[in-house]
Amino acid sequence: MYRDALFNKKQAKVRKYEIKGGGKKYKKYLIQKRFKEDAQGKGRSIPQKDKEALNAKLKALYHAQSLATPSEGASEAPEKTGLELVEEIDEQYFSDLKPEDIPDDCVSEVDMEAIQN
């Protein structure tokens, strides 16, 4: 029941951001936060396998953005860290925000009394 209530809160947060039009911006923020916390050793570290997969996706997004908006002196993605890639990618290139993208600690506490009633 707790997990269902938490997921419902995440869905409500996604709907709120869809209405405001900032879901992709929030998703970018969450990814940046995850890389910063990993670099500082705070919170859960990103497992190496997940980090490699995430870096590959970010490099693909960076490449797609580079092809769409060529600029002078654009550096290659392989030289950049995950955090640098996230910071340089425009929000429009991220996929839509999904409830699974939101970590549990970014949602307010679930009211256990409301669940039991």
pTM over 0.85: no
* Number of domains forming the structure of the chain: 1
Model pLDDT, residue 59: 92
- What is the residue range of 73's domain? 2-116
Q: What is the pLDDT of residue 104?
A: 82
Whether pLDDT at 112 is above 80? no
Q: What is the pLDDT of residues 17-47, one digit of tens each?
A: 888 888 899 999 999 998 888 888 876 778 8
What separation, in Å, do the N-terminal and C-terminal C-alpha atoms of the chain show?
Answer: 11
Cβ atoms of 37 and 43 within 8 Å: the answer is yes
Mean pLDDT of 66-82: 68
Convert the pLDDT of each residue in 76-106 to its tens digit: 555 788 888 999 999 989 988 888 888 888 8
73 has a pLDDT exceeding 60? no
Let me know if 4 is exposed, middle or buried by CB neighbors in 10 A (0-12, 13-18, 19+). Answer: exposed
